[in-house]
Structure 1
Amino acid sequence: MRSGGERTENGRVDYQELVDEVCALLGTPATLEGRDFRLIAFGAHDNEDDRVMDPVRTRSILRRRSAPGVREWFESFGITTAREPVRIPPEPAAGVLTGRICLPVRHGAVVYGYVWLLDDGAVALGDPRLDEAMAVAERIGSLLAEEARAGARLGELLRTALAAGTPGAVRELAAALGAAAEGALTVVAVTPWELDTDVPAPLPGASAVCVAPGAPPHALAALTRPAAARAVADRLRGPGRVAGIGGTRHGPLGPDGLSGAWREALAAARTAGAEDRFGGVARWSELGPYRLLTALPARAPDPAVAALLRPEHRELARTAETFLDNAGQAARTAQTLGIHRQTLYYRLSRVERLTGLDLGSGADRLLLHMELKTARLR
């Protein structure tokens, strides 16, 4: 038996190796999730039975997390306090078509995660192979605890560096990161992040994670490689949360690079919350005019446009924005909105009367377009 997973380039443990070891011991697919039910690693499966890939397992693998309802259902079997394997029966209503055996991943009194085994009834809870699998789970628990301690230290250093922005604070963070502070780096911002929500540790792909300083809505900051940024953002965002990815900086890590990437990530997160087309995750490099708009100080709308932004004129504002997004092309705008062209012209004339702006004027169009986009950020 191997002594543990190998460490990757950034010093993280390769938990995939340990999960594969459990799969080999029991001859069944296994997954490793953190205590927050976020996926860490999963074993290959060759079974063509649809029940093996039931909705819960599929969601866990594809979305890197389980739904809150599923988490509550599994926790109802006492897995958060268990020290031995727990058998969980199938429950089609919950999307669990195949039963599970849960191996709690603990270190001392703390549960750090769970190894999930698909259970067709062939493995008895007294099977000596489960004892060996639990030994692997204990090793995983020790490694996760070690990473949690190291992650907490790095997270505090990242928080201090973001708050202070001084060369000394950033140098201390860079020294603790070692080689991870070199090369291409960026920052991911996820907001809003409630203060009582656990900070994921470890977070695959991230070198350091913290709840960033500042007034609500609070944000989570993750220092990561650009190639891993999207995966990190997808792991962290969820219902009601959006994520932004800052521009790439090249190490060694410095104050300007860190603070600049963080500002860009926050701007990208604001934009992701304003524009549905980003799907909840936006990159600084893809923001277009929002790179400028997010840098402007907060202010009241321009007096000419203020009336248009009132709730009762929401449809007129949407029409004007779509018209300007389509470079003033009436046919394309009408098609996008699903209205007759004459209806479009009527609405645009109402916009002109309401604002006093001339949609035939480039300057007036620019003012209106900027105000409509800024209103989304508010």
Structure 2
Amino acid sequence: MKGDYQELVDEISTLLGTPATLENRDFGLIAFGAHDSDDDSAMDPVRTRSILTRKSTPAVRAWFEGFGITRATGPVRIPAAPDAGVYRDRICLPVRHRGVVLGYVWLLDAEPGPSHERLTAAMDVAARIGELLADEERAGADLSRELRAVLAAERGWQYDMAVAALRTALGPDAEGLHALVCVAPWTGEDSPSPRTVPGAAAVCALPWLGPAGPYAAGPARAGGDPDTAPGGGPHGPGRGRTRPAAGGPGTTRDPAPGPGPSSGASSDGGYAPGPGPRRALAVLVRLRSADNLSPAATAAERLRAAAGPAAVAGVAAPRRGLGELDHCWHEATAAARAAHAQPRLGPLAHWSELGAYRLLTALPQAEPDPAVRALLAPAHTELARTAEVFLDHAGQAGRAAAALGIHRQTLYYRLSRVEQLTGLDLDAGEDRLLLHMALKTARL
């Protein structure tokens, strides 16, 4: 963007035959033309300070604004004032867009001065600068309130009004291609400026009811715990289950034995319900192509790093326009929840790659199924972990035992304990399905 401003300032300098400088409406320097004159008076103290410090003093600003430059729609000639440090006459070209002044182009004036035709051409270039400044201002505007209103509203007239307000604020960008990103948990400022997030059109913070963050279960407890007793528990090998349960219909890609993140991890790594974080960050990211989500991934990774090691990010499927932002937010939050629940999906998860978690995240966040409630208690953490790994490996005892680092007889014993606690038959496909879904859902 700076290069675009510099090219336009150089174009004005060439048109009028004198160095030009561009400042925003707060008199902050944006770009300036080269000074190759041998005339020392070409650089009076005001211009020198502006270039060296990239801003003007409040006194200088007030003095120039006294000539009506904030209201002018055409060139304004300002006479020299040595007492104010202005040794040369100046011409100010107001930079406006849709009637709003966004900046000023400054030129040194000398007799006979540029012709009316050249000044008109320079004002046309200033209008192009105004379009760039307006685009940059719109892109960097804090639209957190508008985005939050859309994502917090339910379908109906309130949602439609919120979408219309966000569409107006975004201007032409509103009809472009976007992806919505969820970063959670968010522990930073309320909502960072979109200017600090690559490709972001709007950012806001929202309540988060998902998991608090990842946890890792400790190693299997040895000794008197009957759930984890080596060699089949305290009763010795062969007293527990003596055959593997029949395999399920498929297997996951994750061979990891640990339970990974859980929405309800207890202090000892169990599945007991626990409090989650209170906020997530929503980021609306502009895309150029539905096939390239790298802008969303870049924004998500930068914010996730700022949020800390417990944070994950979810990315919704890309959509054009703003009408389905509520569905996008469901997808982004679902992907973030899944990234917490399943390490192989995170720390950056895409809705399109969630697999079975697309269905699981759509389930109501209710109490665990009565059949598995006892199994999810902290006292039976290792049993629950064993059952999940066993089902993840399609009921193949050898692979499950290897992943858990235990003997097969220990595995069979634990599975028999799971059946006793739940009343489920691990030889029955529907019972295995219920147990597997309950264990996965407990993480969400």
Cα offset for 1:196?
A: 3.9
1:1-378 equivalences under 5 Å are 4-6=2-4, 151-164=140-153, 166-194=159-187, 196-197=189-190, 199-202=192-195, 203-212=197-206, 217-224=278-285, 225=287, 227=293, 228-238=295-305, 239=308, 240-249=310-319, 251-254=320-323, 257-377=324-444
| Distance change (3 Å), C-alpha of 1:204 and 1:312 | same
Deviation at 1:369, TM superposition (A): 0.5
Amino acid at match of 1:170: V
Q: Report the alpha carbon displacement of residue 271 of structure 1 after superposing the two structures with TM.
A: 1.4
**1:108 to partner: Cα distance:** 9.4
Structure-1 separation of matches of 2:200 and 2:327? 18
Q: Which has the larger radius of gyration?
A: 2
Percent identity of paired positions between Structure 1 and Structure 2 = 57
In structure 2, what is the Cα distance between the partners aligned to 1:335 and 1:297? 34
Alpha-carbon distance between aligned partners in 2 of 1:297 and 1:201, rounded to the nearest angstrom? 33
Alignment partners' CA distance in 2, 1:107 and 1:337: 68
Letter in 2 for 1:293: L
**Quick check: 1:147–1:201 contact (8 Å CA) kept in 2?**
no
Distance across 2 between alignment mates of 1:324 and 1:260: 31
In structure 1, what is the Cα distance between the partners aligned to 2:203 and 2:316?
15
SS of the equivalent of 1:212 reads: strand
Conserved? CA contact 1:159–1:212, under 8 Å: yes
Q: Is 341-350 or 258-267 further displaced after alignment?
A: 341-350
Higher relative contact order (CA 8 A, sep 6+): 2
Work out the CA distance in 1 between the residues paired with 2:312 and 2:56.
33
CA distance in 2, matches of 1:149, 1:180: 9
**Structure 1 pair 291–212 and aligned structure 2 pair: CA distance change class (3 A):** same
Q: Secondary structure at the match of 1:222?
A: strand
Amino acid in the other structure paired with 1:186: A
Number of paired residues?
Answer: 246
Partner of 1:71: none
User: After superposition, what is the alpha-carbon deviation per residue over 1:238-295, rounded to whole angstroms, capped at 9, x for unaligned?
Assistant: 322221111222x2321xx111001111111111122222232211112222222222
Question: Is the contact between residue 194 and residue 202 of structure 2 (CA under 8 Å) also seen in structure 1?
Answer: no
Question: CA 1:287 to 1:299, structure 2 compared with 1: closer, same or farther past 3 Å?
Answer: same
Residue-by-residue CA offset, 1:156-202 (whole Å, 9 max, x unaligned): 22222223362232133223323432343220011222474551431
- Pick closer, same or farther for the CA change 1:197–1:171 going to 2, 3 Å: closer
Distance 2:371 2:402 in 1: 28
* Cα contact 1:151–1:209 (8 A) shared by 2: no
Kept in 2, the 8 Å contact 1:211–1:221? The answer is yes
TM-score of the aligned structures, taking structure 1 as reference length: 0.58
Cα deviation for residue 221 of structure 1 reads: 0.7
The RMSD of aligned alpha carbons is 3.4
Q: For 1:106 and 1:304, how far apart are their aligned partners in 2?
A: 69
Once residues 314 and 106 of structure 1 are traced to their aligned partners in structure 2, the CA distance between those partners, rounded to angstroms, is 62
Classify 1:190/1:154 alpha carbon distance in 2 versus 1 (closer, same or farther; 3 Å): same
**TM-score for both structures, normalised by structure 2:** 0.50
SS in 1 for 2:375: helix
**Cα distance in structure 1, aligned partners of 2:352 and 2:377:** 32
Q: SS of the counterpart of 1:223? A: strand
- Which runs of 5 or more residues in structure 2 are unaligned? 7-52, 59-131, 210-276
Alpha-carbon distance between aligned partners in 2 of 1:177 and 1:198, rounded to the nearest angstrom: 17
Q: 1:204 to 1:5 in 2, by over 3 A?
A: farther
CA shift for structure 1 position 345 = 1.4
1:173 partner SS: helix
Correspondence for 2:27: none
